[in-house]
Amino acid sequence: MTEPDTPLALELRRLSFRYPNGRVALNEISCSITAGERVALVGPSGAGKSTLLMHLNGLLPSPALNTIEAQVFVQSLAVTKPHLRQIRQQVGFVFQDPDDQLFCPTVREDVAFGPLNLGLSQTETLARVEHSLAAVGLPDHGPRNPSQLSTGERKRVCLAGVFACKPSVLVLDEPTSNLDPRARRQLLQLLKEFPGTQFIATHDLDFVLDLCQRVLVLDEGKLRADGPPERILANAILMERHGLDVPWRLRRESPSI
C-alpha cells in the first residue's frame, strides 16, 4: 500500500480518444498512479493499451495537446504542447518493437541520442552511455550495430537509451514479447531494480505477478477493473469476460468482483 500523501506520478482525467477513421480507442479513462508504483495494463488485443500509453508523453496528435482542458498529467504537469519537452524528460517510453526505437549505426550512438537531445555535454553523455550500458548488462556493446544483436539485447539497448535520460517514469509496451526465458528473467531483474514509477502494457500475466503491485484491465477502450494482481487476475469470470486467461499459478474457482 502506498501512503495517502505519496505524490502522483501519472493521472488520467476522463481521457478519451478517437482515431481519424472514427474508431473510439479510449472512452473516459480516469485513474492515477503514485510515484514508485509498478502498474500493469492488461486487456485483449485492440483494447486501446498502446493508444493509452502513447498519450503519456504526447506521442499521438490528440486534440487535448492543444487545449487547456488537459486529460493527462505527469507529476501534476499537463501533457500539452508547451510542456512536451519537460514531459519527455520525465517519461521514458520503450516501444514493443525495438526496431521502432533503434536507428543509429552503433549502440553507443543510439543510447547517446536522448541525452544529446536534452542538451547534455559530450562528456556527460558519454558517462551516461557507459553507465546505462553497464546497468543493462551490455558494457562492451557500444561499438556494435544494433541490427546484429538478438531481440533481447536490442530491448536492453532501448532500455539503456531510456535510462541514460534519467526518467522518473518508465512506460513499456509489451516488454517481454519475443524474448526467450533468459532474456525475460534479465528484463524482470532490471525492472525490479529501477527505482521510479512503471506503467507496463503486457499480455504476459505471469510477468505482471512477478513485478507489479497493481493491474488495470482495459477492454473496448474502457477501464474495467483496477486492483491487486493476485485478486484481479484470479477472477475467472472477469478474465473470461475481457478475453483473458487466469494465469496457471492462480487457477482456482473465484467469484466475480
Q: Considering only 55-69, 170-184, 204-218, which range has the smallest mean pLDDT? A: 55-69
Cα dist from 151 to 16, 99, 130, 157, 224, whole Å: 33, 9, 21, 10, 32
Mean pLDDT of 205-233: 97
CB neighbour burial string for 43-78, b if at least 16 within 10 angstroms, e if fewer = beeebbbbbbbbbbbbbbebebbeeeebbbbbbeeb
| Residue where the block lists cell 517519461 | 91
Q: Which domains, ranges and CATH numbers included, belong to the chain?
A: 8-250 (3.40.50.300)
Contacts 24+ apart (CB under 8 A), 220-224: 220/27, 220/47, 220/48, 221/17, 221/24, 221/25, 221/26, 221/27, 221/29, 221/47, 221/48, 222/27, 222/28, 222/29, 223/29, 223/30, 223/31, 224/43
| Helical pair 181-193 and 151-163, crossing angle rounded to 10 deg | 10
What pLDDT, in 10s, does the model give residues 11-48?
Answer: 999 999 988 888 889 999 999 999 999 999 999 999 99
Q: Is the pLDDT of residue 58 over 70?
A: yes
CB atoms within 10 A of CB 1: 6
Give the per-residue pLDDT at 176. Answer: 93
Mean pLDDT of 84-113: 93
Residue 18 CA to residue 114 CA, distance in Å, equals 30
Find residue 31's DSSP bridge partners. 12
CB atoms within 10 A of CB 253: 7
Give the per-residue pLDDT at 257. Answer: 47
What pLDDT, in 10s, does the model give residues 100-130?
Answer: 999 999 999 999 999 999 899 999 999 999 9
* pTM for the structure as a whole: 0.90
